[in-house]
Structure 1
Amino acid sequence: MLVQLWMAQDFIEHRQNMIMEDTGDEYVDELCQRSLLQCLGSNGRNGQSVYTMRNVIHDMAVLVAGEECHAVTLGRSHRVPEHILHASLLCNESSSGPLTGDTKKAVLEPFFNAKGLRSLVLVGDSINWFKQVPRRLYDLCHLYTMDLSNTHLHELPNSIDKLVCLRYLALNNTKIKFLPGSICELHYLQTLGLRNCYALQELPKKMRKLENLRHLDLSFDKEVACLISSMPSRIGRLTSIQTLSRFVVGKKKGCGIGELKDLIHLIGDLCISNLHNVCSQEEVIKANLQEKQCLDSLELQWGNQNLPINEDADKEVLKHLQPHCNVKQLKIKGYRATEFPDWITSPSSSNIVIMKLSNCKKCQSLPPLGQLPLLKELLIEGMDGVVYVDNEFCGYGANKGFPSLEKICFKSMKSLRAWTGVREGELSSLCQLIIKDCFCLVELPSRLPALVELEIESSYHPNEPKTLLSLLHRFTSLNSLIIAAFPTNDLHFQLQDHPTIECIEIRDCEELISLPDNWLPAHLTSLAIKRCPKLTCLPEHMPALQVLKIEECEHIIPPPRNGLPHSLNVIIINRCPLFQAHVDAYLNAGISIYINGQPVHANLEAEQWRTANDGRISSGFLQWQPPPSG
């Protein structure tokens, strides 16, 4: 985003044989090398890098910019110089208090006198008061950049075309349903941000006129259906486009998947949806995904599962959607044939790190994904036809056995009965296994030597709900265990003798009444219990416990003070009224206590621990360690 903002203001030098985005990335790298910017890592939601600037550098930049740049905080009186070029409005309504109707109308008024304004950015997470664009905003005809993200904007007026110089328009996280056709008259527009516009139903029909468009972001952070039914006609004419995060295949002429043919500069993520609308094999071949070498992530989605299934057609479509070997993340959703094409596990897919196969309900077996040498994370979901996972899953040949796989999740596999056939040396890096909504599953591999975390949720056989839990003794490296949505009122299975489990989380067990004494491992250091409404008491005999977290357990009563283990350092309580009512008994026990996120009492060492682990304690999988002495 930073580079795109610079591009909009002509801050990036045009270099021969080099695209502006790459030049901009070099600028960012140089600023980081000179410590003018600091990279904080990537945003977990969208993978974009996050940068910050030290206060002293920021103050110097403000001084150098003089009155060309102006930042205004919502709710504070301010004067905006008429000759400013770049303005931002900091919209933290929680700190400024609620806005009245008159105040809302007047918020942007001071900016309207800055006739030479080139950029206007609203900054805030949820700008609820901004629901309509003031008419006078369109008098700022020299605007190059306008960011109205995170507002409650439902529509843009047709007069948007008055902003003839506009190059960057961000409407991310808004309520917008339609864009006016006049937006297609913004011939200089380079970036159109529509990320997380979940209500968006249609794109303007003449978007092909935006010949300078380079970035069209239609991505979603949430797994929800896209309401757009088709791309506009002839979008393939936008040959400068680099970011096209979503392509919705339409049925009409000029809206098909073949429009991707000439979009050879695509980078980053691409989701192709409504693949059931593909009209011919020739159209798929024309899309030529194998030549799009700058794509990092590819998602392929088939839509309406109620339509008549042409298995051969789906098979041919997927066969010709093989991506370039540089793709690192592959998702296939709603595929309706019984088997996958060979390219899924061929050497051309050897760079794939993350793979998700979802709702491919006709598939009866899993491809030999163990042959992918760099695969680290795998999700298998909603594949109703799969009954057994055997040794073929791990593959054959030199790269068999998932040499790099660290995390695997089986979810909503309603027919899956057994996962077996793991041979010695296979799955040697697997440290996290998640099983959700697999009601028939009764058998797991006996060899998972590196498994550290196991989560079992709603995966209990109706005739013998404890079957999976009875297999825990096989996993001799297991450190953390999550048990969720267990259907009965007790958890009487052997756990106390497990040699390595130190962290346990029990959640969403609506029938659970009690936890038996002497049931937990003696070396347990962390226990989290969440949303167990019938549970009334905690088990005794937890001599090594350091962290206890109780959340939304309305009937649970705390043990007496002398019943607490001496090792306990932290108690975290969220929305547990009975527990909270008795918490005074622990105030002088040297324990840090937090109720609904607020500290009630903290000893110094435990407070230092909490500060160091802030944001991670919600998992319940942390060990408290006192800071080193001296």
Structure 2
Amino acid sequence: MAAALVGGALLSAALQVKLKEKLLKKRFLIVLDGVWNAKPDDWELFCRPLQIGDQGSKIIVTTRHETVALKVGTVETYFLKELGDEDCLRVFAKHALLSRSAIQDQNIHVIYGEIAKKCRGLPLAAKALGGLLRSIPSKSSFHKSQFMMHDLINDLARDVFGEFCSKLEDKFSPPVMEKTRHISFLRDNYDLDLVEDLKMAKRLRTFLSLNLLWPFLASTSQEVPVDHLTVLTCLRVLSLNDCYEIKRLSKSIGNLIHLRYLDVSRTSITKLPESVCTLYNLQTLKAAKCASLRKLPKNLRRLVNLRYLDIRGTPLQQMPKKINKLVNLKMLSTFVVGKNKGSTIQELKEISKLHGSLSINKLQNVAGSADASNAKLVDKEFLEELKLNWDGTTGLKDSQEEINLLNNLRPHENLKKLSLHYYRGTRFPNWLGNHSFHSLTSMSLNCCRYCNSLPPLGQLPSLKVLEILQFDELVTIGNEFYGSSALKPFPSLEILKFICLPAWTKWHSLRDKSFPCLYELHIENCPSLSDDLPRQLQSLVKLVIRDCQKLAASIPKAPALQEMEISNCDKVVLKEIPSNLESFKVKGCELMQSTFKALEYTGSRLQSLEMSSCSRDIMFPQLKLPSSLRKLIVQDCEKLVIPTEQPNKTIEWISISESCDSLVSFPMSMFPNLSYLFLKGCKALTSLLLSQNCLQFPILYSLSIVNCPAFVCCGNFSAPNLTHLLISGCKSLISLPENMDFLMPSLQTLIIYKCPKIEYFPGGSLPSGLAELQIGYCDKLVANRSDWNLQRAESLEIFSIIGRCENVESFPDDDLLPANVAELFIDGFVHLKRLNGKGLENLDSLRSRYT
């Protein structure tokens, strides 16, 4: 995709589209803080989505580089003056909580005075360093401390570390030398000789491997020479995160006796060598999302200084025995209960200092409820989130034993989040829903297939999010759900979801007493639910009801409702459109007809309407769209007629898919303020209808025409802000718009796919700002590639070509592609024998090639 580079990150074309959506006809103020680089082309790409804002919009850029200000500024630059050293010292002292006597101490004053000078007059640098040093009591501990610097004091960090730190991805960073202590590198950098660098840095303390590539491209990145790392015995920090090519760690890793931090997350390792257990100084071990790792070293208990163990998403079969010896653990992401003679849940007893989140898996392996009690979860007062997971593959055994088991897994009352997956009891123990859990804000009960009732969750005073999912035996939600508290039930609940409850038939609501703060309500895939939704929900803003075929209730009265979706619920009663509704998704014929009827008799503020799945003859009331409507999406409505007789200046977004079979020419001129148009599977569509009175579409930024077999031509019109043009599966198409360089000067992405009759690009040249060109299965067009004149597309970075191209034996031709092409994709050429070296040699920016 075409992209703009902002602050070192890619702003993709898709994101630019969303940005244009949000900013269209709005006045905005955007602050870009700390801009380090602003290449003219990148800055232009970034600014294009911002040009459709309302008059008076502003962009403020802060930077420490005058050259950046000169490139991006449209008014005179305002220069901020730096603080003096004494002022910097005062800011630093304030945030370090230094007493006046401490500052007056001559020795302390010298040290902190030097720090203030290093801040170079930047108040944020002084503030950040002061905060970091707040808890340091003495000079000696100051020199031993380690800090993570904010990017705004990057220069200060460079001054402090100097030649000791090398970022191999940064050409301005000091080279690796014997005195180098810290190394980081990006794995998509092919120009590095890591082995030689590591041989130089014999006293290396930190090695960080950084991967900014998508996982499926990891195999193309540079490999990390793991064996060469294990001889660097001074290492304290070793991160191999995202090194997918690593399948094993040498046992020589045990030589890294000073190692404190080891991260092998998202690697392909199948096991950790036992020698890891000799790293007695290790404090952090991360092995998250290692898909091939099944067990941890059996002597892991020897890592007595371990504080942090992260194994989230790693399919371990069980924990190593005697993990209870790791009494200093403060973070344990996951505990897997062993089977038979494996690790038992009782081993959690001694690990009492746990913070953050804990997931306990394979609870079906717990020998009995007494073992669960001995885990002493109730004593873990610092734990914030608890996830209790059974396997889900085993059926119901002894329901009472399961209830007793969960009862004995009661957590501390400070818990904030709780989730249960595949619990096998028929009811819940009494502690679930007890009002003493005053801090509990989120609960998810998932796949509790045998439960036939819910606990009194309405008594939880702070509960904000509640999810009830996949209860096969739940038939009625009654008064027990609300509890017996004298207060209004669910006093803080904001989000409530009922999903996949096949047997649920009845919901007894408490009229107007419950859910005073409910903001979002989901009822999905509950095919037996018949009636009695809450009558009134004063705070409701979003309502989603899907696949509830028997539900015959009326929509709750919700004066604040802004977003609603009703899908496959043809018996739901819709008498009127809520007065504040802005977005409405409706699926099914009966609902669409009642929607049109409601639109005819009630006014609305509806801005977005999405309709789908109706095969009947239907049309909008009075053959016109709602006057407030800005966005219209239609899918699988073959006989729907779109009103096209009167101009509509409010519609900005139209998407029509597999619908409107009678539509022959889409009347562009009826929608002069269109910004997004997507037409797919319109069987009779032949063209875009233009009138002499309307040939300009100043805010149109995306146009897509897909799988319209009768479509012949787009016509010629001006779209100065069009950035994305896609035409695919249009087998009758014979030409593209003429003079695209003049009429569509902002075009960044052009995709032509499965249009076999196209032979040439239009007259004139492609826009010079075009960044991405994709051509697929257009063999006649490829045959005339010598006339493409792509050298004038100076910004082209991504070029993709796919097809049989039976007459092509060598590609690309000499001078076919401009020098800026960075990514080249070639596929499907049945007779391709070789890549043409001369056609590639001028591609100085080429970094990725796929054939």
TM-score w.r.t. length of structure 1? 0.75
* Residue 466 (structure 1) aligned with residue 573 (structure 2): no
* 1:156-187 Cα shifts (integer Å, max 9, x gaps): 23222122221101122333332222221212
**CA spacing shift, 1:107–1:246, aligned 2, 3 Å:** same
- Matched residues in 2 for 1:382 and 1:215: separation? 34
Which residue of 563, 583, 590 maps to 2:698? 590
Paired residue secondary structure (1:374): coil
* Residue 522 (structure 1) aligned with residue 626 (structure 2): yes
Which residue of 168, 181, 203 maps to 2:296? 203
* Residue 118 (structure 1) aligned with residue 205 (structure 2): yes
* Residue 406 (structure 1) aligned with residue 514 (structure 2): no
Is the Cα–Cα contact under 8 Å of residues 433 and 457 in structure 2 kept in the other structure? yes
In the alignment, what sits opposite 1:493? 594
- Matched residues in 1 for 2:547 and 2:278: separation? 53
Which residue of 193, 204, 215 maps to 2:286? 193
AA at the equivalent of 2:702:
Y
* 1:53-76 Cα shifts (integer Å, max 9, x gaps): 344x21222122211111111899
Paired residue secondary structure (1:66): helix
C-alpha displacement at 1:52, in angstroms? Answer: 8.2
Q: Identity over the aligned pairs, expressed in percent?
A: 28
C-alpha displacement at 1:468, in angstroms? Answer: 5.7
C-alpha displacement at 1:398, in angstroms? Answer: 2.9
AA at the equivalent of 2:592:
L
Is the Cα–Cα contact under 8 Å of residues 353 and 375 in structure 1 kept in the other structure? yes
- Matched residues in 2 for 1:283 and 1:551: separation? 59
- Matched residues in 2 for 1:329 and 1:580: separation? 56
Structure with larger Rg: 2
Is the Cα–Cα contact under 8 Å of residues 667 and 688 in structure 2 kept in the other structure? no
In the alignment, what sits opposite 1:445? 534
Is the Cα–Cα contact under 8 Å of residues 490 and 512 in structure 1 kept in the other structure? no
* Residue 562 (structure 1) aligned with residue 669 (structure 2): yes
In the alignment, what sits opposite 1:625? none
Is the Cα–Cα contact under 8 Å of residues 233 and 254 in structure 1 kept in the other structure? yes
Paired residue secondary structure (1:247): strand
- The within-5 A match list for 1:305-454 is 305-443=393-531, 444-454=533-543
AA at the equivalent of 1:593:
Y
In the alignment, what sits opposite 1:154? 247
* 1:342-365 Cα shifts (integer Å, max 9, x gaps): 111112222111110000011112
- Matched residues in 1 for 2:452 and 2:696: separation? 61
- The within-5 A match list for 1:475-514 is 478-483=581-586, 486=587, 491-494=592-595, 495-496=598-599, 502-504=606-608, 506=610
Paired residue secondary structure (2:573): helix
Paired residue secondary structure (2:163): helix
Paired residue secondary structure (2:592): coil
- Matched residues in 1 for 2:626 and 2:228: separation? 69
- Matched residues in 2 for 1:117 and 1:111: separation? 8
**CA spacing shift, 1:209–1:400, aligned 2, 3 Å:** same
AA at the equivalent of 1:116:
R
C-alpha displacement at 1:219, in angstroms? Answer: 2.2
- Matched residues in 1 for 2:655 and 2:195: separation? 46
Is the Cα–Cα contact under 8 Å of residues 195 and 225 in structure 2 kept in the other structure? no
Paired residue secondary structure (1:331): strand
Is the Cα–Cα contact under 8 Å of residues 433 and 459 in structure 2 kept in the other structure? yes
- Matched residues in 1 for 2:660 and 2:273: separation? 54
C-alpha displacement at 1:210, in angstroms? Answer: 1.2
* Residue 62 (structure 1) aligned with residue 167 (structure 2): no
Is the Cα–Cα contact under 8 Å of residues 480 and 501 in structure 1 kept in the other structure? no
In the alignment, what sits opposite 1:257? 345
Paired residue secondary structure (1:367): coil
* 1:187-215 Cα shifts (integer Å, max 9, x gaps): 21110112333443222222111111110
* 1:232-284 Cα shifts (integer Å, max 9, x gaps): 11111100011101111112446111000000110000111111111022211
* Residue 457 (structure 1) aligned with residue 546 (structure 2): yes
**CA spacing shift, 1:212–1:254, aligned 2, 3 Å:** farther
AA at the equivalent of 2:504:
L
Paired residue secondary structure (1:332): strand
Paired residue secondary structure (1:201): coil
AA at the equivalent of 2:653:
L
AA at the equivalent of 2:208:
V
Is the Cα–Cα contact under 8 Å of residues 466 and 493 in structure 1 kept in the other structure? no
The answer for unaligned runs of 5 or more in structure 2 is: 1-122, 133-147, 553-566, 705-718, 723-851
The answer for unaligned runs of 5 or more in structure 1 is: 1-29, 40-50, 221-225, 604-630
Paired residue secondary structure (2:295): coil
- Matched residues in 2 for 1:506 and 1:315: separation? 45
AA at the equivalent of 1:214:
R
C-alpha displacement at 1:140, in angstroms? Answer: 1.1
C-alpha displacement at 1:584, in angstroms? Answer: 9.3
C-alpha displacement at 1:534, in angstroms? Answer: 6.6
In the alignment, what sits opposite 1:137? 229
Is the Cα–Cα contact under 8 Å of residues 609 and 629 in structure 2 kept in the other structure? no
- Matched residues in 2 for 1:355 and 1:323: separation? 13
Is the Cα–Cα contact under 8 Å of residues 36 and 54 in structure 1 kept in the other structure? no
- The within-5 A match list for 1:529-544 is 529=633, 532=635, 539-540=642-643
**CA spacing shift, 1:52–1:34, aligned 2, 3 Å:** same
- Matched residues in 1 for 2:615 and 2:588: separation? 8
- The within-5 A match list for 1:280-295 is 280-295=368-383
- Matched residues in 1 for 2:642 and 2:489: separation? 41
In the alignment, what sits opposite 2:257? 164
In the alignment, what sits opposite 2:557? none
C-alpha displacement at 1:459, in angstroms? Answer: 3.7
In the alignment, what sits opposite 1:53? 150
**CA spacing shift, 1:417–1:524, aligned 2, 3 Å:** farther
* 1:108-145 Cα shifts (integer Å, max 9, x gaps): 54133200000011123334435664321211111110
Paired residue secondary structure (2:230): helix
What is the number of equivalent residue pairs in this alignment? 541
C-alpha displacement at 1:591, in angstroms? Answer: 2.3
**CA spacing shift, 1:377–1:535, aligned 2, 3 Å:** farther
**CA spacing shift, 1:534–1:151, aligned 2, 3 Å:** farther
Is the Cα–Cα contact under 8 Å of residues 480 and 504 in structure 1 kept in the other structure? yes
**CA spacing shift, 1:157–1:471, aligned 2, 3 Å:** farther
* Residue 571 (structure 1) aligned with residue 676 (structure 2): yes
Is the Cα–Cα contact under 8 Å of residues 555 and 576 in structure 1 kept in the other structure? no
In the alignment, what sits opposite 1:84? 180
Which residue of 168, 171, 181 maps to 1:72? 168
In the alignment, what sits opposite 1:615? none
Is the Cα–Cα contact under 8 Å of residues 290 and 323 in structure 1 kept in the other structure? yes
Is the Cα–Cα contact under 8 Å of residues 357 and 380 in structure 1 kept in the other structure? yes
**CA spacing shift, 1:460–1:527, aligned 2, 3 Å:** farther
- Matched residues in 2 for 1:306 and 1:482: separation? 39
Is the Cα–Cα contact under 8 Å of residues 395 and 424 in structure 2 kept in the other structure? no
AA at the equivalent of 1:331:
S
